[in-house]
Structure 1
Amino acid sequence: MSAPQHSAPRSPGSGFGFSTADFYLLLTVFIWGNTFPVAKYILGFLPPMAYATTRYLLAALVLLGLMALRGGLQPPRRRDIPALALLGFIGVTMMQLLWTNALTFTAASKGAILVAVSPIFAMLMTTMRNLVKRESTPGALAWSGVLLSFAGVFLVINNSLTGITLDGGDLVGDLMFLGVAFCWATYSVMGPRYIASLGALRVTAWSMLFGSLLLIPLSILDIARADWGATTLTIWAGFLFTSVGAGALGYLWWYEGVAKLGVARAATYSYLIPVFAMISAALVLGESISLAQLIGAAVVLAGLMMTRLGTQRTPGNGG
């Protein structure tokens, strides 16, 4: 997962020290980075859609439980249900349909790099919105960052410094991961309007529940053919890690961190996700990382930082 590209209030006096919010953001990106290789390992035993659906149903139930503990289970207002269902469809249903299946085609480390470009898609969406509203748009530095990031994406997918190798293979998985980045960007651009009025926990919990329920019709066959009885303790531990850790607590900690520190400061933590993913994939799955992919990852991250700096310097920009 990559950082949402929208404005969020800073808490007074947050400064540049390492706060509790910083700790939770760092813990979140560590969890999200490690989710890629852990999920790929689990998918060696469970069908993709069975895993995605049960994982997010559990995550939604955990968030609803937290809501009950924090002040009562507040059902969404009827007028908010369509928006929450749409957020769930984009941020859970479509994203998990692509993400889980993409992991069966593409290396976990590679997928994490490709998903990291979601802030670029978010910036493009915000720019289109600003053009319609005749508001300020990003300058040359931000657009240079966009081009640089996509050059890095090409290097990662091509996986070669000497020639063009886009001849199929895991290209389908790579394109799916770019679809994941687009879905997360869309969810991130749409979410703030509802989080401002309903709160991060309510929006995340209900949208996640709606999104996971929409996954059920797509996963009935996978759930039926899954050999649940042969699932080992290691697989269940990984399932809980990716469900409760990444799916429930990760979402909650991320948005609470953004609310306290602001998206610009939080965004710097998201750049660590592919780094953690590459290290973990090498240690857990024995994945090898080519020189082209390392250079591509560095180029993607450099482009993201340029884009962030460029949007920060643009007066009135929503990104």
Structure 2
Amino acid sequence: MDKKWIYYVGLIAVAAIWGANFGVSRSAMETFDPILFAFLRFGLAVPFFFLILKIREGSVGVPWRVALQFALIGLVGITGLEIAVMYSIKYTTLANASLLNVAPWPIFTALFAPFFVKEKMTMRLVAGGAAAMVGVTFIILGGEDGLDWSSKHMVGNLLAFGVSVIGALYNLACMPLMRRYSPLRVSAWIILFGSLFMFPLTLGSWGKVDWDGLGTGHYAAIAYNVLISTVFAFVAWNASMYKIGAARANFFRYVVPAAAVVAGLIFFDESIAGWQIGGAAFMAAGLVWISLERKPAEEPRLTE
């Protein structure tokens, strides 16, 4: 029996977790500087990654040449990408950032995929992806903020669009490495280096936090970010992406804004418009259409 549906469920679950994290992080940002909060998320996750890696695989090391590859990917895909996301939100509207961060990402992944992995653009992927993109656009445009293309948001818009390009390249750069190492090992090392590069940028922020005044909600937000949104989510996403294919898997990022809308309803009593419900249905249809395509047999993982 074909069990590929397990990996699709994993992609949807992770995208929902990341979508809900918008609401969790929004509350935390009232207390923490954005870069500091991102560092706490990834830095505190590192020991968990390597502990699990040691328990499951018996070792944690990689050759130094491969470590340099992980360092470069961590610098770009964790440090650079997370900072770009935060400042894109700061310098443009949330609707602009959501649309430009999310919608083009899978398109760039599909376009760049032939240069990194043996994945081809198919008509089913194009049709399903187009439907999903239309749906996610309705979800974002259906919100109260709407889009604002005025010149004062140009810097933030460009940053948000750049996130899609960088994010697509980051995902694809991980794929060849996951032919040699497990998704857990790849995630652990990339996040280690991403955290190390991010740390110097937090030095001016630690003293601004009222650590004695932190409550249960703050610690719950940190725990959610570390254990659920990072440790579990990164391993599950990378493992599912490796099985399904980067181009196909990244269209499931469109679940993120839908989950963010639901989180806004639950945590902030925000309303959901009819356009957003319709968009979610359109997006779901596109993703189901993509998931029904049979993926060619994967190449065996290489061993050293």
Give structure 1 stretches of 5+ with no counterpart. 1-12
Shift of 1:119: 1.4
Q: Which residue of 2 aligns with 1:195?
A: 178
CA distance in 2, matches of 1:279, 1:60: 29
* Matched residue type, 1:280: A
Contact 2:77–2:170 (Cα < 8 Å) also in 1: yes
Shift of 1:69: 1.6
Describe the shift of the 1:34–1:113 C-alpha distance in structure 2 as closer, same or farther (beyond 3 A): farther
Percent of aligned pairs with the same residue? Answer: 25
Q: Which residue of 2 aligns with 1:272?
A: 255
Deviations 1:79-114 (A, max 9, x none): 112210111112211121122344556448973884
Instruction: Tell me the secondary structure at the aligned position of residue 74 of structure 1.
Output: coil
- Count of equivalent residues: 294
Counterpart among 213, 216, 222 of residue 233 in structure 1: 216
Contact 2:133–2:254 (Cα < 8 Å) also in 1: no
Q: Which residue of 1 aligns with 2:302?
A: none
Counterpart among 200, 204, 211 of residue 221 in structure 1: 204
How do 1:110-125 residues align onto structure 2 when only pairs under 5 Å count? 111=98, 114-125=101-112
TM-score after normalising by structure 1: 0.73
Deviations 1:280-302 (A, max 9, x none): 12221234455666666667777
* Matched residue type, 1:215: M
CA distance in 2, matches of 1:272, 1:157: 11
* 1:262 paired to 2:244: yes
* Matched residue type, 1:96: E
Contact 1:122–1:185 (Cα < 8 Å) also in 2: yes
* Matched residue type, 1:38: V
* Matched residue type, 2:235: L
CA distance in 2, matches of 1:167, 1:112: 15
* Matched residue type, 2:105: S
Deviations 1:119-167 (A, max 9, x none): 111012125x38xx9x99636665567777777777777779xx98422
Describe the shift of the 1:291–1:25 C-alpha distance in structure 2 as closer, same or farther (beyond 3 A): closer
CA distance in 2, matches of 1:221, 1:152: 41
Describe the shift of the 1:94–1:78 C-alpha distance in structure 2 as closer, same or farther (beyond 3 A): same
CA distance in 1, matches of 2:253, 2:135: 17
How do 1:108-187 residues align onto structure 2 when only pairs under 5 Å count? 111=98, 114-126=101-113, 129=115, 138=121, 165-167=148-150, 173=156, 175-187=158-170
Contact 1:36–1:108 (Cα < 8 Å) also in 2: no
Describe the shift of the 1:282–1:110 C-alpha distance in structure 2 as closer, same or farther (beyond 3 A): farther
Q: Which residue of 2 aligns with 1:57?
A: 43
Deviations 1:14-72 (A, max 9, x none): 346x65x5665454333222111111111121111110112111112210111122233
